[in-house]
Structure 1
């Protein structure tokens, strides 16, 4: 970033500190595209990246009074974005800890009949949890999980919006994860559920 650009940022930040919405819009227009390209390389999802973008600039607006004009705004902006991405990955890592447990105990090391029986029991329990979902959500989940259809195909088949399908799958995931976490013996099912539900947009 050249000196002229940095000085211009300082002027915009000074105005932003006073609540100038035009200055905020100019900063957004200047950096949003760069920030989007930075974030999507990590998140690999358009909607997640757009959510992050909104969260970052919302934080900028909320903290406008404490912004400093003697710092490089771009560095500050990307630091917020990096921390946001990091938190998202940490959350995902916590959710997937059960996957690693199951992969080690029930996939790679499953060689005897007793372990295979446990595997079948897990699948039976999963079906029981799926049956607790609301009818429409259950239908969408089964099309995604068991028939392995992409969200776009499910939306077309059921005459729904793709966003609605995505929302329903997210709600189903949270419900099933919660039910499994309530019973430690069901942790293994997360392997099938989380892996099978990814990459179907």
Structure 2
């Protein structure tokens, strides 16, 4: 195929599913700027918007088989870009909630406790406790807290439901909180996770 510009969207998607790089490049050329403007309208952050566009098109290349044949690529891109923005906003909200929790718990910590705990030692302790979690729970927790993936992204990656992901993260936090309770350091633990994300 010499001229991909004359192909319809559905023809390009069909070629994309066959791992045709030129078809992917043409889809990118047709829609990346439009998607960038749409994302930037919502976020008002040029660099972040560019990052989300790149992430979206990377996912389209890696998971082209998820694009349904009866859905137009422009509609698919619009919905996928909107979902990425909403996921980003939700993650920011979740981090804000964690910061509020950190503030609450840090007020409860005694100066004596803080003096006894070195942050590096605490991180080693937390890492050790995470390693003791059941394998599937640990995988979900690390994807959530260390790789900063949304519940939906984790569910897709591991082929499990979002509710399972949520439950695994909640259970992991309960276990870690219980194991570290004698340090009275949940606030520090959350701070460390936020810092690494």
Name the TM-score class by shorter chain.
0.3 to 0.5
- Higher-Rg member (1/2): 1
TM-score where L is the length of structure 2: 0.47
Using the size of structure 1 for normalisation, the TM-score is 0.46
